[in-house]
Amino acid sequence: MLRPSARIANCVFHFGSGSGAQRAMTGLTLAILVAMAPPPALGQTEDVLQDRRFDAVTWVQNSAEYRMLTEQIFRLALHPLVTALDDTTISADEAQLAEGGFAEKPPAIILDCDETILDNSAYNARNILKNESYSTETWNAWCLEVKAAAIPGSLDFVTRAQALGADIFFITNRRDVVKNATVKNLKKLGFPATSENVLTKNKELGRGDDKISRRAAVAKTHRIVMLIGDSMSDLCSGMNVTETNQRNQTANQKFQQLGSRWIMLPNPVYGGWQQALTEDKQALKLNSNSK
């Protein structure tokens, strides 16, 4: 039996032959078959290029610039790390710095996971091809696949930092249900991950999106010398707001920490910045020096 597309082609081929009544019947059949034919598969070029995520994801996956940028960031982070390890008056955590009493604690680095050391661009690429948005269900399924790659430069940095004497902690907003898979993925890539130093999210147990409670848990036993993430909320509080100017003002107030105690990775695909955007084209700025 011919597939719908083959039947359509067959009808078109014979459309010009036969009597007027036959041609009319053929035309009616053709119209029915066109309606029956399945739509083009999602992800064909013309559909993909219209997806607002396409350029961001392909830049992350293909550009030399993204790879060189993340390599550069992690290389440069080693310099302030050496300073922070030697200077016991330094803490990268605002709450710990205000509280004091951390000088004698062993040093630790806290890293976010997703888009900081784990590359999940394949998950986002799948969503584009399927014309789907992020969902907890598909995200957890992706995490359970244990297929995230390492962000360029991240493994070398963590290896060197550990050799310099820093303990490593991973604070991620992945949920408890995928914690074991996350540890497995990190270990598979060579990161020193364990069930103790990978701190996942569970709002019901007081481990919320803001990561404050989990940083506080690390601060009880360690001096936090560096925070590394792809979102300002990985580094400080006050960023989970829904107004761009407010986010930018908070970031400007804390700018002096960046590049020394706080290290930021680029993430053009998603983040808290999206939640703070105005609707549609109103987010575009026509004044190049506006902030």
The CATH architecture annotation of domain 66-120+149-277 reads: 3-Layer(aba) Sandwich (3.40)
39: pLDDT confidence band, cut at 50, 70 and 90?
A: very low
Q: Residue 273 corresponds to which tokens in the numbers above? A: 């910045």
Is 250 within 8 Å of 232 (Cβ atoms)?
yes
Q: Residue 238 corresponds to which tokens in the numbers above? A: 């006050």
Residue 76: C-alpha distances to residues 71, 79, 93, 240, 262 (Å) = 9, 6, 20, 28, 12
Give 71-114 pLDDT, tens digit per residue.
999 999 999 999 999 999 999 999 999 999 999 999 999 999 99
> What is the 3-class SS of 49-76, one letter each residue?
CCCCCHHHHHHHHHCHHHHHHHHHHHHH
Domain extents in the chain: 4-36, 66-120+149-277
Give 148-177 pLDDT, tens digit per residue.
999 999 999 999 999 999 999 999 999 999
Is 264 within 8 Å of 230 (Cβ atoms)?
yes
Residue 283: C-alpha distances to residues 36, 242, 277 (Å) = 41, 13, 6
Question: What is the bridge-based pairing of β-strands 107-111 and 223-229?
Answer: parallel
Give 240-289 pLDDT, tens digit per residue.
766 778 878 877 887 778 888 999 999 999 877 777 677 677 777 787 66
